[in-house]
Structure 1
Amino acid sequence: MPRKRPRILRAERWIPPKHVPVRRIRGMSARTRAAVRRVETEHMWPNAVAEALSQLVWVFKQPGRYLDASEVWEPGLEIEDARDRLEEVMRRLPEGARADLGRLLERLDRELERRTLPDPVLMRELASDHWWWWRIRER
């Protein structure tokens, strides 16, 4: 079987769109950032992961032991929605990038678990892997 010419191989490679400002995500390798950018281009919008991560970090910078449940959130901007977005990206990433982003998410998940309480009613009713929806915030 003849091999493909380098020109054809380069044409088949994914090339990120130009002139799209990209927010850097601290703590991730360049390979992971490229994989995330590809997932964002194909399935989401530019900087979707950076926005979700910054939203979680912003919420965790708020003072207090528990997250504030009385704060008004716009639809689609709750931390659970941001965590859902990150989980969707994790499913679509290649193995190495998934592990790299997973290390970053582990730290955020521990903080989310520490600053919320389990909801026993929802835990019995829901059979989903999205445990962050089973947590309640204190007032």
Structure 2
Amino acid sequence: MRRVEARHLHPDAVAVALDRFAWAFRQPGRYLTGPGESPGIEVEDGRDDLEVALRHLPRGARADLGRLVERIDAEFERRTLPDPGWACEWTAGRWWWWRIRER
């Protein structure tokens, strides 16, 4: 897992993160399985980028992106299962890393 600061987000990081979720949510079935992804391209990494963007955007843009993120979070939570045994210090406050995508 990579920690990303706002100054390290590439210019299209938000668009790429949104595309990752759009791709994942188009996959059939109730549960997200992931395509054998490599580090840095998991949807959870995209969610990290969205969180960084939310912390640094101006109020109006933050509100707009926040509404999209709320919908993403609801769908991601619906299509994953809790994994309470996996949480660790670097996932603190980032519930999306505490989910199991495979059944």
Superposition TM-score tier, normalisation by shorter sequence: 0.7 to 0.9
Give the alignment partner of residue 87 of structure 1, picking from 14, 36, 51: 51
TM-score (norm 2): 0.84
The residue number in structure 1 matching 2:27 is 62
Distance (whole Å) between structure 1 residues aligned to residue 98 and residue 39 of structure 2: 18
The residue number in structure 2 matching 1:75 is 39
Give the alignment partner of residue 131 of structure 1, picking from 90, 95, 103: 95
Structure 2 residue identity aligned to 1:52: A
Distance (whole Å) between structure 2 residues aligned to residue 131 and residue 75 of structure 1: 18
Structure 1 position 47 matched with structure 2 position 19: no
Higher relative contact order, structure no. (Cα contacts within 8 Å, ≥ 6 residues apart): 2
User: Which 4+ stretches in 1 moved above 2 angstroms?
Assistant: none
Q: How many residues align?
A: 97
Structure 2 residue identity aligned to 1:50: A
Distance (whole Å) between structure 2 residues aligned to residue 85 and residue 67 of structure 1: 19
TM-score (norm 1): 0.64
Aligned-partner SS, 1:122? coil
Task: Note the C-alpha offset of 1:104.
Answer: 0.7
Structure 2's unaligned 5+ residue stretches are 1-5
Structure 1's unaligned 5+ residue stretches are 1-39
Structure 1 position 117 matched with structure 2 position 96: no
Distance (whole Å) between structure 2 residues aligned to residue 131 and residue 49 of structure 1: 19
Task: Note the C-alpha offset of 1:120.
Answer: 1.8
Query: Does the Cα contact within 8 Å between 2:9 and 2:49 map onto a contact in 1?
Result: no
Structure 1 residue identity aligned to 2:76: L
Identity level (%): 59
